[in-house]
Structures are given as structure tokens and as C-alpha cells.
Structure 1
């Protein structure tokens, strides 16, 4: 099978389309025009070296293009336009056409929605974002904002209602309040205070922070992040503290056990 050939005009049309649609992937463009994506990259590189044009942007001789398309319909855009009853001037005018005011407005709104969504730590959905936009002077509806969020893959991450996670077990026969709220120790590593809380992170979202503080220096000597409240995660934090301090003496571990 012979290798398909393409006119300079067809190449230039593909290059202009890519430049006018920067958000569309090269793979999608190659499928739309029936050429390999590596070929599209090659044409873009050639156009870049020639100030955005493929050689001389074609000879303008439509009859030669038509003749080439008769032998290989995929080699020229001319035959495709003729079959679709579309003029060349109209086709290239479409490729160079600037976005309408509505598209520009939608693009600006999408940018602002992304900013509000990020500022809310990805919690706000369409209702709250709509109210913020309306206060800023934008005339938008909740339905329109929701549609823009869906088109741009912007989703609200809702926080689950607070649930009690501390198990109310009877430790009275095994655990005792040794410190009796006397948190002023006389030496390091006499008593450690532990706690668990949840925090928001940029990459992982909400996670649990396990921390251990030496009551003498009030310094955090160990901490770990986890996605669950499993006992193993707490024990990892304790093992880290033991490894850091290297103490052989007994240490009092103080925890509030979830009591407020």
C-alpha cells in the first residue's frame, strides 16, 4: 500500500486547527483528520520553523488539489469538502474564527469557579459557588454553574457528619490516671501526651494526624499521618517516639481517650 501524500494546504489547515484549539489533544486532532499523531507533530514543528506556515501555505491551485484527491481521497481536504458541500473559504474561515462572546464568558467563569473551589478546599458545590458568583456581580444560575463544573470535572468533596469513633471500654481495672492533671514533669521522657486529630492536606485531602508530645519540653517528638483510626497507626507513632528518644526507663503515656 502506497504511503498517503498530503497537500500543503491540507497540512496548513491541520496546523491552524491545532493552534486554534490548544485544549484538544494531538491524538484527537489526528483522528479527526485521518492522519497519524506523529505526522501532526511533524507538521507543527515544520510550521514553527517557518513562522507558522507550511512552506508557502500551498500554491492556491485548487485544480491540482482536486486531481490529487481523485487518486487518493484522504490526501486532500478538497474532496472531503466537496462531498460535504462545504466551500473552502467557509472551512478555513471556521478554523480561524475567534471564540464568540458566550464561549469567552464560559471560559472566564470556569476559571473563577476553579479558584473558588480550590479556596474552599474543594468542599463547595454548585449552590455555594453560585451565591459567591452572584455576590461578585455575575448573573448565573445554579443550574448553569453546575453544568460548567461538570464540563470541567469540578466536584465537591463533602465532609461526612461527625461520628463518635472512641470506643467506651471499661479500662478502670487496668488503666489509672497517674498524672492527675499534673502536666509539669521534672525531667524529659517522664510522661508523654498523645492525641489524634484530622487535618486537610493539599495532596491527600483529609487525613488523621497522630502526635506525641514530651510534657517536659512541650516538644512533638513523633507524628504520623493515616487515613484511618486503626490501632496499628497509633502504635506506629509510639514506636517512632521510642526509636527517637531511645529511653530505657518506663514512660507514662497520657491520653484523653476521646473524653471532652
Structure 2
């Protein structure tokens, strides 16, 4: 047998994991599974943090835990929430079919008929008989598909549109066209977050010597850790701006490194790069692409890359399309995470972004480029 690979984690990752465990209110077992670590590892980190604060965490992590059970529990939890909501609205109708059927008809656009019938203790066939006709095979299929679509939509944080949900249905062995999926979502008022407008590119400062654009908009990679792209963005909080630097692998579209802080400086982008190095141990043939911002043309940062034999590539001045994959990621991050909340503090923003990247984007979210 091959020995298990020992994973390592940066101090920033461990700190955010501990803060998430201490503030989210979720069971620690669930948080550990979301992050792909053993719950004993998270318990150990929390204990170290309680004893030494931010001076803790000299060690490494453990291999990721199996996550399929967690995803199943999340789907079941969403159905339970739906059932609880129905019960609150219809408690006076329980076990009274003559009163339950009108309630089901009035709420058919909000909840699947099959779920309402189960909660109210009546049969689907009885409901349709009350309507004066038997449901067709197509309508019965719609009811089953609607139940699955509703579960998937909420399990994926309400950010999946009909294309990704149709893929999820296919993976469950359910045949459903894209058009039918979209229709059923419209009937249930399930709408994913719309796309944001195109971002504005970064302008190069005068006197900066930029690297050539060796990536040349070729965003396909034949193997992992052959091409990385990097960029920074910013998030407004009640305490001021929080800056986020990200390193993304073009082969897997995995966020391999990230860093967050109150200043958009060389240290921020270098911390994100160091996390990526720690996680991936890339070969010397690696190409790293960024824009020509002052953080990426800083002497210390470029010297570090050169010492590792890494090839540097930079976008043309003011051309966001040369780094389109990173722009697309930040658009997704803002549309599916940042713009859904109002952050009172940088710490709150860090927690939401950390959870989105590590628990959802890297481990669960479908990537359209990878199908």
C-alpha cells in the first residue's frame, strides 16, 4: 500500500478554520468535513488556539475526510426545513383532507406537491382526485424532479442555475432536459444570482518593468501546477476595505492559495503565493501569470519567484481579458458570496470568504469549464 500523503496548512488557514468553528454555531464535525479535514485535527487546532492564540499552529494537517455523507445530510436538512415551514403554515389543517387540499393548491407554486402531501398526511393521488382528475405521468415526473431540484438548489447555496442543476440531476440518474429544468425552476421561483458587469482592468504604474505576456490568453493546461494565475480584489466592510489575493490553478480551477488583509501590498500577494507553494509543491516549469500592478512587480516578490525557477507572465496594461479566468473567479466570488452579505467587520468578511472558497468553491461547486 502507498502511504497517505501528509497535508500541510498555512497559519492563516488554521486561524480561519478555528474562527469558523468558534463563531459559526455549526457542529465541529460538520465544519471539519466541509474543510476536508479530520474533526480531531480541528479539535486540536482549537485547543492550541485556546492555549497560545495566534502564536499556535506549527504543525500540519491530516488527509481530507469523506464528504458524501455531509452532502446527503445537507440535502435532507433542506427538505426538513421545507417541511417545517409547511407545518407552521398549515398546523390547523393536519389530518383534514377537505381542508388540506385547498392549502396544497394555493401553495403549489411555493413547494412541491409531493412534499406538502407527505407533511399533511394525505396522498398525492387523493389530492389530484380532489382536483377532479388523475395526474399524468408527465406531471408525476415533474413532481419528483421538482423535489430533487429544490434540494439541489438550496444545497448549492442558491447559486446554481438550470445548466448546473441539470448536470446534478444527470449525476443522480434522472433524465431531464435543460429546458424542463429551467421551467420547473421558474415555477418554484428559483433564481440564481445574476452575472455582474465586466470589471475594470488594472493600470500599470509609470516606470514599472513588466514581464512579457507568455500566457497569451491560453487558459488551458495539460497537467496540474503548470499554469497559475493570480490577482487581487477588495471587499468593503464597516471597518474599511479588506483586500483578497488569490492564486488559481488553470488545470483544476482550484484556488491553491489565498490571503486577506487590510492592505493591498506585496506581503498580501506573497502570502497567497506561499500558501500555494505549501499546498502544491509545483515543478520548476511552472508559469505564474498576473497583471502589472505594483504588488506583482515588487522586487521582493519577483525575486522569490526567480529563486524557484518560476516563469513570470503579465497581462498587457489595462487589459483584463489577458487574465480573464481570475476576473471570472472574482465575479463568481462577489456574486455568490460577497454581494449576498453586508459585512460589519473585516473578520466577518474573512470568515464568509474563507468558508466559500474552502468549503464550497474548492470542494463542491461545479465548474462549467471542467463540466
Does TM, normalized by the shorter one, top 0.5?
no
TM-score, normalised on structure 1? 0.31
- Kindly indicate whether structure 1 or structure 2 has the higher relative contact order, using CA contacts under 8 Å at least 6 residues apart: 2
Between Structure 1 and Structure 2, whose CA radius of gyration is higher? 1
TM-score, normalised on structure 2? 0.24
More helix by share: 2
